[in-house]
Chains A and B, each alone.
Chain A
Amino acid sequence: MIRPVIPLVTAALLFGIGAYGVLRRRNAVLVLMSVELMLNAVNLILVTGDTLRERVTGQVFALFVIVIAAAEVGVGLALVLRLFRLRQDINTDQVALDDEPRAAAPSEEPALALDGEQA
């Protein structure tokens, strides 16, 4: 016999650590890593739920979550690289939504608008 409370508590602690990391870290890549920890905690709860009910629904949902996490990381890292190209920095505290890009990249602003039109 196994106690399902052990993996459940592990998952709860991992989720808390991930939440801490998302709020504590300034670097955008580290924030993404913390998000992965939280997603993994949810997967662990889903898989543990299967042992209580003799079904595989939780595992199927865990697989779906893994796929969505992969997509999220792909798009998130594209955004991070775009941010780095615009400002030479991925510190999330430095991102103001309405200000001009730094002088280091003077040609980026019109190009961004052009991208939108082409797309």
Chain B
Amino acid sequence: MTLQDVLLSVVGLVAVAGGLAVVTTKQLVRAGLWLVVALGAVAVEFLLLGAEFAAWVQVLIYVGAVVVLLLFAVMLTRAPIGRSTDLDRPALPAALVGAASGLGLSALFIAVFGQFRVAPPAVGTAERIGDAVFSDWVLPFEVLSILLLAALVGAIVLSRPSAPPADALADAVAPGSSR
């Protein structure tokens, strides 16, 4: 075990513990804060694996934007501060599926990659990623920008306040015919 192995293990344990807290806590706001712990630990793993750019994007977009959005949603849906009683379904089917996928994948990875040793990766700069994005992956990159635009428009349409009912609208329109 080298120093990097130890660090990867410790940070991995933090990530798994944070994830477990997200799916078991009874308090909605705390679930969001535990999510910060789990996502931050994954960002540190990215750093240890030499993916510096991906790590900072993870911190900016996940911890900075996604978690804030989720906490906004928690507040806008008037979630109770403190314990909620009816957050969970029965545990057994979920535990079966979760344990089967998690432990099964773990066993597969250990069987296949258990003996692998790789040289510690050099800390990658954004330059190599920029080269890759704008040479090999230009088309997916552009398609992604269209997807973001579509998601933006969709979110605006969905969250617009509802118009008044149709008959009221017709009453309002008919006399003045302002529309």
Q: How far does the Cβ of B60 sit from chain A's closest Cβ, in whole Å?
A: 9
Within 8 A of B (CB), among A69-84: 69-75, 77-82, 84
Instruction: Classify the secondary structure of A's interface with B.
Output: helix
How far apart sit A90 and B89, CA to CA, in the bound complex (Å)? 14
How far apart sit A71 and B154, CA to CA, in the bound complex (Å)? 10
Interface code A10-44, partner B: CB below 8 Å = 1, 0 otherwise? Answer: 10111111111111111101101110110010011
Interface code A36-59, partner B: CB below 8 Å = 1, 0 otherwise? Answer: 110010011001101110011101
Q: How far does the Cβ of A30 sit from chain B's closest Cβ, in whole Å?
A: 6
CB-nearest residue of chain B to A22: B94
Are the C-beta atoms of A6 and B9 separated by less than 8 Å? Answer: yes
The residues of A that contact B20 with a CB separation of less than 8 Å are 17
B23 an interface residue at 8 Å Cβ cutoff?
A: yes
The residues of B that contact A113 with a CB separation of less than 8 Å are 166
Taking A2-B5, A37-B38 as contacts, is the C-beta distance between A27 and B28 under 8 angstroms?
yes
Are the C-beta atoms of A44 and B38 separated by less than 8 Å? Answer: no
Contact of B162 among A22, A84, A108 (CB under 8 A): A108
How far apart sit A13 and B9, CA to CA, in the bound complex (Å)? 13
Interface residues on A, range: 35 or more
The residues of A that contact B74 with a CB separation of less than 8 Å are 29
Q: How far does the Cβ of B90 sit from chain A's closest Cβ, in whole Å?
A: 8
Instruction: Classify the secondary structure of B's interface with A.
Output: helix
CB-nearest residue of chain B to A84: B77
The residues of A that contact B105 with a CB separation of less than 8 Å are 12, 15-16
Given contacts A24-B88, A67-B147, 11 further A-B contacts (CB under 8 A): A1-B117, A5-B109, A7-B12, A17-B102, A20-B95, A20-B97, A25-B88, A32-B73, A43-B46, A47-B54, A82-B159
Interface residues of B (CB under 8 A from A): 2, 4-5, 8-9, 12, 15-16, 19-20, 22-23, 28, 31-32, 35, 38-39, 42, 45-46, 49-51, 53-54, 57-58, 61-62, 65-66, 69-70, 72-74, 76-79, 84, 86-89, 91, 93-95, 97-103, 105-106, 108-110, 113-114, 116-121, 124, 128-129, 132-133, 136-137, 140-141, 144, 147-148, 151-152, 154-160, 162-167, 169
